[in-house]
Chain A
Amino acid sequence: MITLQWAYALAGSMFAAFAILSVLDRSNGKRLGNAAFWGLMALSLLAGSRLGDFGNGLLVLGLAGLGGFNLLGRSAPPSTTEAERAGWSQRLGNRLFLPALIIPATALIGTLVYNYTPLGEQGLIEAKRETYIFLCLGALIAVGVLYAWLKPPALAPLQEGRRLIDAIGWAAVLPQMLAALGVVFAAAGVGTVIGEGTRAIIPEGSVFLTVIVFGIGMALFTMIMGNAFAAFPVMATAIGVPLLIQVYHGDPAVVGAIGMLAGFCGTLMTPMAANFNLVPAALLELKDQNGVIKAQIGTAIPLLAVNILFIYFLAFR
């Protein structure tokens, strides 16, 4: 049976290759930091189930230390020049978008076929995990198609992948860290405490008021922290799960998905999200560094209201 472990092995091998190529990259002054960071990611994906809980804990502390104390650098793997890219782009035209479509198409079609034909009854793939397996398959097919079509150097997929992962840096691991933080919050009983507190404030049985508090809370927390990813585990633990899902029986998929999007409305309104709001103001040489935020508020507030209504009407059908 194809289990999730296969997907971990594929991703782990990719990170291992990133680590090895990092060691060899003399253009990056912090290459050992990059190698250690991606090496730990590879170790986690390839052997996480054999390291034991404490071993994994030390691994996370290692990642946090490397990322937190700025020990990663930016690499410059071999790639094409700007002029070469322009030439290829002209020659290949819009066909260049097609290989990118292979990945979502494989994931979608694979999942549908697996779930709605007898194929799924064979038990070939670990239950409920088929989308991830087809996602990996799609990525492999896309790389295969590109090898056959454009004949890049053998190492190009890994070098170009490393170029992108180094540009992202430690932020690549942050969502996983935040999810782990959410688990720790849950284990420590944070949700129970806040759930009780919120129930004391919001009148019992008022689903609509609770949805409003959840939606506005997501947006406000996101504005303070500059990041909906960080706000989500907090608000899910505080209100989303204990009240909307457990007490009022809201659809978890709707509460989760649209709750996150309510947070994105907050991202539009905060200078804390510098990459999205302050950096473009500087790039465009705006006189008012909050000019982009001001242009966004008129979209963000009505959209937040719509999201709150969506949660209310779609999660409590």
Chain B
Amino acid sequence: MSHYFVLAGILIVVVGFALRLNPMLVVTVAALATGLISGKGPVEVISLFGKAFNDNRIIAIVWIVLPVIGLLERYGLQQRAAAVIRAMKAATVGRLLILYLLLRQGTAAMGLISIAGHAQTVRPLVAPMALAAAEKEHGALESETVERVKAYSAATDNVGVFFGEDIFIAIGSIILIQQTLAAYGYALAPFELAIWAIPTAVAAFLIHSVRLLLLDRKLHRHPRESGGPASLSEAEKKKLDSRLRGNDGGQT
């Protein structure tokens, strides 16, 4: 029976993350507890954790791209991405968001995760453009429709980045998979993993695109009912704190 106690580590991770405790502490406590419960001494456990961390240093290699991305941002990469989005032309909300989905998946697959995002592009550009497209087609929008169009704008950004980024080899999740499997003796190259992200990327594009076209049809069924103003209220432009800027290290 007692060998089931090693599962305490999993419980600590699940509860710790669910309670939103600091993940660095949760992971450390889970590792130490699991090692101690399995009958190792404190020094042995710390050594085991240290060796495992050292053996996984390759994961830190993904940050080698930061000086390049940072330099490009210095010269207006995000503004450039915004210009590309602003130039998107589409007749309906659904088609506009499909174009954005394609752009987001494509750039994420190139490793450009942070050029777009909720704070960078969805709030200032994509959502207002989607609302404008809806208004142009259907007239004044009821508040329920405004909500739905905004929510779909944010959803499209998430779907695009989640199911594009794993095609890029130097992304945390790909190297985490590689290293986790390496611990069991399966040596895989990053490309062998990234290539299997492609079928899901295509499926995500197709499924979400169909849903966006269905959104168009749904909007058609409830044409023009007067409602509140459709555009985002510019009155209170909240000062965004760092957490909202979209640079969260890609922990999806």
Q: In the complex, which residues 292-310 of chain A have their Cβ closer than 8 Å to any Cβ of chain B?
A: 292, 294-296, 298-299, 302-303, 306-307, 310
Inter-subunit contact A253/B158 (CB<8 Å): no
A276 at the interface (CB under 8 A from B): yes
Does A247 sit within 8 A of B, measured CB to CB? no
Asked whether A229 is an interface residue with its Cβ less than 8 Å from the other chain, the reply is yes
A270-296 near B? 1/0 per residue, CB < 8 Å: 001101110111011111100110111
Do A253 and B170 have beta carbons less than 8 Å apart?
Answer: no
Chain A residue contacts of B18, Cβ below 8 A = 224-226, 272
Q: Which residues 66-120 of B have a CB within 8 angstroms of A?
A: 66-80, 83-84, 110-112, 114, 118-119
A97 CA / B73 CA spacing, docked (Å): 10
- Chain A residues within 8 Å of B60, by CB: 11, 15, 41, 44-45, 172-173, 176
Q: How far is the CB of B164 from chain A (nearest CB, A)?
A: 11
Closest to B39 in A: A188
Given known contacts A74-B242, A150-B75, A314-B199, A103 and B111 CB-to-CB distance under 8 angstroms: yes
> Which chain A residues border B127 with CB–CB below 8 Å?
284
A78 → B minimal CB distance (Å): 10
B180–A160 contact, CB under 8 A? no
* Contact digits for A14-35, partner B, Cβ 8 Å, 1 yes 0 no: 1100000000000000000000
Per-position 1/0 for B17-31, Cβ under 8 A of A:
110101111011011
User: Which B residues are CB-close (under 8 A) to A124?
Assistant: none
Instruction: Assess the B22–A70 pair: CB atoms within 8 A.
Output: yes
Q: In this assembly, does A120 line the interface, its C-beta being within 8 Å of a C-beta of chain B?
A: no
Most buried by A among B24, B58, B111, B233: B24
For the complex formed, measure the closest distance between the CB of B97 and the CB atoms of chain A, giving whole angstroms.
11
With A14-B64, A103-B111, A230-B17 already in contact, the answer to whether A295 and B162 are too (CB < 8 A) is no
The minimal Cβ–Cβ distance linking B183 to chain A, given in whole angstroms, is 5
Q: Is the interface of A mostly helix, strand, loop or mixed?
A: helix
Assess whether A295 is in contact with B248, with CB atoms less than 8 Å apart.
Answer: no
What B residues does A94 contact at CB under 8 A?
Answer: 80, 84
Contacts of A256 in B (CB 8 A): 177-178, 180-181, 188, 193
Cα A314 to Cα B196 with chains together (Å): 9
Q: How many angstroms between the C-alpha atoms of A185 and B197 in the bound complex?
A: 26
What residues of A have a CB within 8 angstroms of the CB of B68 in the complex?
A: 99-100, 102-103, 139, 142-143, 146, 157
* Chain A interface, number of residues (Cβ within 8 angstroms): 155
Q: Which one, B76, B78, B249, contacts A174 given CB within 8 A?
A: B249
The B interface is mostly helix, strand or loop, or mixed, namely helix
Report if A61-B3 is in contact (Cβ < 8 Å); known contacts: A68-B25, A85-B79. no
Q: For residue B203, which residues in chain A have a CB less than 8 angstroms away from its CB?
A: 303, 306-307, 310
Q: Is the CB of B80 within 8 A of A53?
A: no
Asked whether any CB of chain B lies closer than 8 Å to the CB of A2, the reply is no
> CB < 8 Å: which of A101, A158, A184, A276 contacts B67?
A158
Q: How far is the CA of A214 from the CA of B252 in the complex (A)?
A: 18
Q: How far is the CA of A175 from the CA of B158 in the complex (A)?
A: 20
Q: 1/0 per position for A116-144, CB-CB distance to B under 8 A?
A: 00000000000010011001100100110
Among B5-13, B133-141, B219-227, the one that faces the other chain is B5-13
State whether B176 touches A232 (Cβ < 8 A).
Answer: yes
Given the interface pairs A10-B64, A49-B54, A176-B56, the reply to whether A160 lies near B74 with Cβ below 8 Å is yes
The reply to whether B162 and A57 contact each other, CB–CB distance below 8 Å, is no
A307 to B22, CA, bound (A): 30
- Judging by beta carbons under 8 Å apart, are B172 and A175 in contact? yes
A223-266 toward B: CB 8 Å interface, digit per residue (1/0)? 01111111011101010010001000000111011111100100
Q: Which residues of B contact A80 (CB under 8 A)?
A: 74-76
A179 touches B162 (CB 8 A): no
Query: Given contacts A54-B47, A252-B186, A299-B211, are A258 and B74 in contact (CB under 8 A)?
Result: no
Contact B173 A260 (CB under 8 A): yes
Which residue on chain A has the smallest CB distance to residue B240?
A283
B151 and A303 form a contact (CB under 8 A): no
| Closest CB pairs A-B (n = 7) | A160-B70, A57-B50, A89-B76, A56-B50, A57-B46, A225-B17, A183-B52
Known interface pairs A60-B53, A63-B24, A176-B56; 8 further A-B residue pairs with C-beta atoms within 8 A, sorted by A's residue number: A55-B50, A161-B63, A224-B17, A234-B14, A264-B163, A276-B252, A283-B122, A299-B207
